[in-house]
Amino acid sequence: MDYGTTPDEADALIQRLDSIFPVEAIRRFTMGPVAGAHVGPRGIAVSLIEEV
Write down the pLDDT at residue 12: 92
The count of domains in the chain is 1
Domain that includes residue 23, residue range: 2-45
In Å, how far are 6, 25, 30, 44, 52 from 17, measured between CA atoms?
A: 17, 11, 18, 13, 21
Please report whether residue 41 resides in a domain.
yes
pLDDT digits (tens, 9 = 90+) for 7-51: 899 999 999 998 888 888 888 899 989 988 898 888 898 888 888
Write down the pLDDT at residue 5: 86
Please report whether residue 51 resides in a domain.
no
Please report whether residue 52 resides in a domain.
no
Please report whether residue 11 resides in a domain.
yes
C-alpha closest to that of 45 among 35, 21, 37: 35
